[in-house]
Structure 1
Amino acid sequence: MSDATPTPSAAPATPAVQVPPEFRQRVLERGRELYRDLPWRRTRDPYQIWISEVMLQQTQVARVDGRWQRWCERFPSVDALAAADAADVLEEWQGMGYNRRALALWRAAGIVSAAGGDMPTEARDLVALPGIGPATAAGIRAFAYDLPGVYLETNVRSVFLHEFYPDAVAVPDKDLVPLVEASCPADGSDPQDDPRTWYYALLDYGAYLKKALPNPSRRSKTHVRQSKFEGSHRQKRAELVRLLLDHRATDRRGIDLVTIAEELSSIEVESGRRKISACDVAALLEELEAEGFCHKIGDNWSA
């Protein structure tokens, strides 16, 4: 038996954040009243839920409804997405926001497929994949596996700001995260109050609040007004990718620099902006090539 001096007991842990039970009851009641029967809520397929989460990050629900179904028909599984050509993935993504999200989906699918094709269940494994952050990982875990986590996206944030910080501005997420974590059910043992049901209730209540009140999420420190898209560097990149995809559909040999520069300039002029030089278009193409959006075929360019 050791006669070493016992190690002093650690100081008592700070009491966990407590969420009033009436708050949870109110959210669940509002969730039942405001429930939206969206198509991606009728599945527990983690791949299909992942796709919906990424689409919904920037695009309105009304636009995702329809595009999500089409995507899942064209790329019905992780393996199907991984096996697809990157240009086909970009083509299907057109109109859904940042093109880099489509490439991230494709690259992540390649990693998952190579590992056997099963989506991870652990948050650390999900966030290790390209394009998956903590909120997306928490969404996949909650909606596919009924696992708890901190799912803090715009609508969820709106509820917590409205309920706990009604008059505050520039509220940081670090103040909200403990509340979100404490409010989420620990497991899926109660089908009326599990992580999946809880976060759907928060999403629907938050969507309602954003329509009924001045958007509460604007009082978050994370709120950033979207920069102007038209005429921006980002807009020119997006148009260039679209043009390359259009030409690829009719001719896999690609398109020469002069022609693509003229076509992009025509779009710019029609929109009331200045022509763009072939030199500037070449720089854009090289930038896109470095990121995997296009490649050179001899003297031509193709998506």
Structure 2
Amino acid sequence: MAKVVEPAWPAGIEPLDCFVHRMLQHARELYRDLPWRHIDDPYAVLVSEIMLQQTQVARVGRFWERFLDAFPTVDALAAAAVPDVLEQWQGLGYNRRALALKRTADQCAASGGQLPDTYQELLALPGIGPATAAGVMAFAHQVPGVYVETNVRAVFLHELFPDRDGVPDRELEPLVAAAAFHPAAAADPRRWYYGLLDYGAHLKATGVNPTRRSASYSRQSAFEGSRRQKRSWIVRRVLAAPEGVPATAVRSELNRAEVAASREGVDGDLFVSIVNDLVSEGFFRRDGDLLVP
């Protein structure tokens, strides 16, 4: 069962019935035909939900199809080598998501080869938070729940908190729950949340970005020159050397790349810190001075 939040609809705003039916009208008008919609495979839905975290929809489509071609089932992903999984993920960014998905597949393969079919069991898996678990339940199983994703958040902020800044999710969750369990929404959770996602995307495309008024909003820092950019560079370089590559060579090549990009070379302590993090997270291993995929 999805996360339980006591449904509540405060007085003084648009009645719940009116709100739900108006949102369903937006769903009909703004529907986007995306490849991961209207499918019953929880694993394929989970892959889409993980990929869509912090990544634009337009970029996810080809990666989702390519990833599922390479690893069509939980068992196939569990049987794959980490470097192969990361290779299929290259270009999406935030590679930790791929490792968490791989660890989830490993756990599920060891216990029957299927994703669990309850919210609480999904929530216990690596990299699956409340929104992802609720998304899998709604989109794969047609079970209503509290799915507070960025575009869903945008809709509720825009519609119900038009004049407030710093709105916390704890205030949104009871409203999302009340709407999701309304009979007209709960009859088809997929349609309900597809509609909210599409309306939220429409708001942002038309220049409105209500998520900036969320307490959880933070502007993403620039990628170029960041620690994330250096992590990504090191991961790509090590994965390109199946036999391993000396850490000293990796740092030397990274320094040349940074200088070529008109940035300073990488401090030795920073390089060691990044490599230690990547090793501990499972991106590659250390064999003496060699970094090995």
When normalised by structure 1's length, the TM-score is: 0.88
C-alpha distance 219-275 of structure 1, shift in aligned 2 (>3 A) = same
Q: Would you say how many aligned residue pairs link Structure 1 and Structure 2?
A: 284
Partner of 2:36, secondary structure, is helix
- Residues 285 and 294 of structure 1 are in contact (CA less than 8 Å); yes or no, is this contact kept in structure 2? no
Partner of 1:65, secondary structure, is helix
- Residues 151 and 200 of structure 2 are in contact (CA less than 8 Å); yes or no, is this contact kept in structure 1? yes
- Coordinate RMSD, CA, aligned: 2.0
Counterpart in the other structure of 1:93:
89
Which residues of structure 2 form unaligned runs of 5+? 1-5
Counterpart in the other structure of 1:133:
129
Partner of 1:247, secondary structure, is coil
Paired residues for 1:172-211 under 5 Å: 172-185=168-181, 193-211=187-205
Counterpart selection for 1:244 from 233, 238, 246: 238
CA distance in 2, matches of 1:171, 1:282: 39
Counterpart selection for 1:77 from 54, 73, 79: 73
CA distance in 1, matches of 2:166, 2:271: 40
The answer to which of 153-162 and 16-25 deviates more is: 16-25
Which residues of structure 1 form unaligned runs of 5+? 1-13
Counterpart residue identity of residue 261, structure 1: R
Partner of 2:37, secondary structure, is helix
After superposition, the C-alpha distances for 1:138-193 in whole angstroms (9 at most, x for unaligned) are 00000000001100011001111111111111111111100100101468xx7994
Shift of 1:300: 1.4
- Residues 180 and 186 of structure 2 are in contact (CA less than 8 Å); yes or no, is this contact kept in structure 1? no
Question: 2:17 aligned with 1:21, yes or no?
Answer: yes
Structure number with greater CO (CA < 8 Å, separation at least 6) is 2
CA distance in 2, matches of 1:163, 1:33: 17
- Residues 294 and 301 of structure 1 are in contact (CA less than 8 Å); yes or no, is this contact kept in structure 2? yes
CA distance in 2, matches of 1:112, 1:226: 33
Partner of 1:47, secondary structure, is helix
The answer to which of 122-131 and 277-286 deviates more is: 277-286
Paired residues for 1:223-242 under 5 Å: 223-242=217-236
CA distance in 1, matches of 2:273, 2:7: 56
After superposition, the C-alpha distances for 1:117-155 in whole angstroms (9 at most, x for unaligned) are 121121111110000000000000000000011000110
When normalised by structure 2's length, the TM-score is: 0.91
Shift of 1:233: 1.7
Partner of 1:106, secondary structure, is helix
- Residues 150 and 177 of structure 1 are in contact (CA less than 8 Å); yes or no, is this contact kept in structure 2? yes
List, as ranges, runs of 4+ consecutive aligned residues in structure 1 with deviation greater than 6 Å. Answer: none
Question: 2:254 aligned with 1:258, yes or no?
Answer: no
Which of the two has higher C-alpha Rg? 1
- Residues 255 and 265 of structure 2 are in contact (CA less than 8 Å); yes or no, is this contact kept in structure 1? yes
Shift of 1:276: 2.4
